[in-house]
Every structure is written in structure tokens, then in C-alpha cells.
Amino acid sequence: MTFERKRSMGDRMSGRQGKVEKLEVSLDDRRLILTLAHGRPQGEVATVVRGVVLSRKPVALDEWARELATAVAVRAQSDARARAALEKLVLGG
């Protein structure tokens, strides 16, 4: 997960980090990008292979959130299976 921030002169003078303008979440071959443009969030789903973006698709915010929830659930399930397999290997169960 990466953030891009925009810092105004006031932010710099007061030592604040600024406002988040862009959020990118990378999960396997998907990159979910949320940007703030003209005060409105805009979602995008990109397909990435070996660091190269093959396609980009603008999506509505609700679809972006659904994609994120699905990707996180898949990753959690995969990690749980990997943990169980390692426990079985290490503990001999």
C-alpha cells in the first residue's frame, strides 16, 4: 500500500504531512488505485504482470471497494492455508 500526499505551503511551514491524494493497493496481479480529483474519489483497477501495467479500468467507488474486499479476502484465505500447512510441517500434526 502506498500513499501520495500533496503538501501546501502551510503544511510545509507547520510540519504537517499534507492531504492524501492517491492510494495504491497492490495484491498479486491487481493494483487498486484510488485518487482524489476535484474533491471526488475516483477508482481504478489495473492488471499488472512483472511490474508492467497491462490494462487500466476506471471503476465506480462501490466497485473499487468490492474489488478491494474480494482481494483482501482471497489473500487472507491463502495466508490461512499457508499457515496451517507450515504448522503441520513444523509441529508434525
Q: What is the pLDDT along the chain (93 residues), one digit of tens a residue?
A: 888 888 888 888 888 888 888 999 998 888 999 999 888 999 999 999 988 999 999 999 999 999 999 888 888 888 888 788 877 888 875
Q: Is the dihedral of CA 72, 42, 21, 45 positive or negative?
A: positive
Nearest residue to 26 via CA among 77, 58, 68: 68
Instruction: Give the dihedral sign, CA 74/76/78/81.
Output: negative
User: Which amino acid type is present at position 28?
Assistant: D
